[in-house]
Amino acid sequence: MNESDAQFGLLATTRYVPRLRLERAEVAAQHRWMAPSLKSLAKGQRAMANWDEDVVTMAVDAARALLIAAPASGAAELTLASTTLPFADRLNAGIVAAAVGLDSATVTRDVASSARSALTELASAMRHPVTETTRIVVAAERRTAKPASPQELIFGDGAAVASVGPGRAIATFVAARTLHADLIDHFRQSGEPYVYGWEERWIRDEGYMKLATDTIGHCLADAGVGPSDVKYFALPAPISRINEAVAKRVGIAATALVATASDTVGDLGCAQPLAMLDMAVRAAEPGALILVAAFGSGCDVLLLKRTAAPCPGAIPDAGKSETSYLKYLSFTGQLDLAWGMRAEMDNKTALTAAWRDHARTERFEGGRCTRCDTVQFPRSRLCVNPACHAQDTQQPTSLAEVPARVMSHTTDFLGYTPDPPFQFGHIDFEGGGRVLMEFTDTDVGELAVGVPLRMVYRVKEFDRNRGFRRYFWKATPTRAAISSAPSSMGSK
């Protein structure tokens, strides 16, 4: 059998990074009066989630792209790994699985408490194959750091995902090694918003240079390969130049180091190992050995061999510079602004109604008339086509992956939104269907009649009195088509 036609292995990987990129220099400038040492970290950008993005929505974006490129065959499992899950007592992975259209019989689980938890799950899936099941491991982080701390500049928001199972693998399993060690490089108590980090030199010398190098050495010995055989080495390390030092200690060539994207994205925490794996498999040639390691309360190491199969599922990166540090603080909830009376509303969600309407909200489910083929949202018993008006003829149809275009748009500076102005309008879906939608990730003057759109799963609103967040779909421009669109046609 050809290696690229392997029956089990790593099927696909991809990563999602929010559109906004906070300029580190702007953050450091605001703290210059009391923390001038932050200047050393002020280079480049860090990924910044929009106000309506969180771990769940970013995980949905990453998993959608992966499943479109490499659909799950047979049964599926989905694991969501994060140290910043939005719900402590609600299955976050279940929200993701429903939004990406996985069957209700899908096994779902949340894992947390360690920056290596995603790689732990991926290594376990590779080490213990279930040949009839596609196992999806998605990791996402939206960590909040204390203002003026180094973490505020080092952290980044984002998600990454990998799938393992039967099919044409892009990489096959060679070896894996795990080590549990309660060496505390940082911690965060339950209920606290910020991590407490320990001294960097001690973490480097006692953690990475001993525990990580020892685990990597054992993994290579288990596989019967030498350090020089590793062509791609991915080691997330928020401390500067640690990965270079570990590679040198182990004997891996410096040319094998996979970029961390620290200058443009930042450290993605739990998602960083999968994000770096995605970069490695896309760069690797057939037959190359890829070593991925993750450190945190121990170490996990996974050694893979690249096949000749092409890598599916890359998400285009359309980053936009953000220079407002106050906007960042507002989006993270660290700055409570006076929004006026229009923001004084009770957003209590009726959970019984939410369950009865879950198909519409989870998968943007409308209806298609079996008699006249008219698509409508929401689905109802009566067809909206005036030439049809058939009753009880509609079949469920999801609009989540259907391309659309702007029909009309309104920019409202009076209505409340955490990122003014509030932009909304009617959109037309390809193949039928017209819906009044909220727009997100779009700038004033960017929308125009005819601009192509795609749907994204986002936070619709927060119930701050009860700590509940409600999700729904929004429309955002398909960035590749914006520059050629008219600039002002149809604005209101």
Cβ burial 340-373 (10 Å sphere, 16+ → b, else e): eeeeeeeeeeeeeeeeeeeebbbbbbbbbbeeee
Is the pLDDT higher at 137 or at 71? 137
Please state the pTM of the whole predicted model.
0.94
Task: Provide the pLDDT confidence category of residue 188 given band limits of 50, 70 and 90.
Answer: very high
Residue located via tokens 């019967």: 224
The encoded tokens of residue 231 equal: 């062509």
User: What pLDDT does residue 486 have?
Assistant: 34
C-beta of residue 262 within 8 angstroms of C-beta of residue 223: no
Residue 137: per-residue pLDDT: 98
**What three-state secondary structure class fits 32?**
coil
Position 283 pLDDT exceeds 90: yes
* Section 40-52 average pLDDT: 96
Backbone angles phi, psi at 134, to 5 degrees: -90, 125
User: Do residues 65 and 315 lie in contact, with contact meaning Cβ atoms separated by under 8 Å?
Assistant: yes
pLDDT of 491 over the 50 cut: no
What pLDDT is recorded for position 4?
44
Determine the Cα–Cα distance for residues 379 and 397; give it in Å rounded to an integer.
Answer: 9
Per-residue pLDDT of 344-399, as tens digits, reads: 888 888 899 889 999 999 999 999 999 999 999 999 999 999 999 999 999 999 99
Domains of the chain, start order: 3-331 (3.40.47.10), 341-364+399-481 (2.40.50)
The pLDDT value recorded for residue 353 is 85
Q: What is the 3-state secondary structure (H, E, C) of 116-173?
A: CHHHHHHHHHHHCCCCCEEEEEEEEECCCCCCCCHHHHHECCEEEEEEEEECCCCEEE
Cα 89 from chain centroid (whole Å) = 21
- CB 296, CB 116: distance < 8 Å: yes
pLDDT at 487: 32
Range name among 72-81, 138-147, 159-168 with the lowest pLDDT average: 72-81
Average pLDDT, the chain: 93
CA atoms within 13 A on the CB side of 430: 11
Q: Is the dihedral of CA 369, 375, 377, 383 positive or negative?
A: negative
Measure the CA–CA gap between 433 and 146, rounded to whole angstroms: 45
Q: What is the pLDDT of residues 300-313, one digit of tens each?
A: 999 999 999 999 87
Segment 205-251, tens digit of pLDDT: 999 999 999 999 999 999 999 999 999 999 998 888 899 999 999 99
Separation CA 471–CA 99 (nearest Å):
10
Inter-residue contact 43 to 22 (CB < 8 Å): no
pLDDT tier at 434, thresholds 50, 70, 90: very high
Do residues 44 and 24 make contact, with C-beta atoms less than 8 angstroms apart?
yes
Dihedral sign for Cα atoms in the order 388, 394, 398, 401: negative
Q: What percentage of the chain has pLDDT greater than the value 70?
A: 96
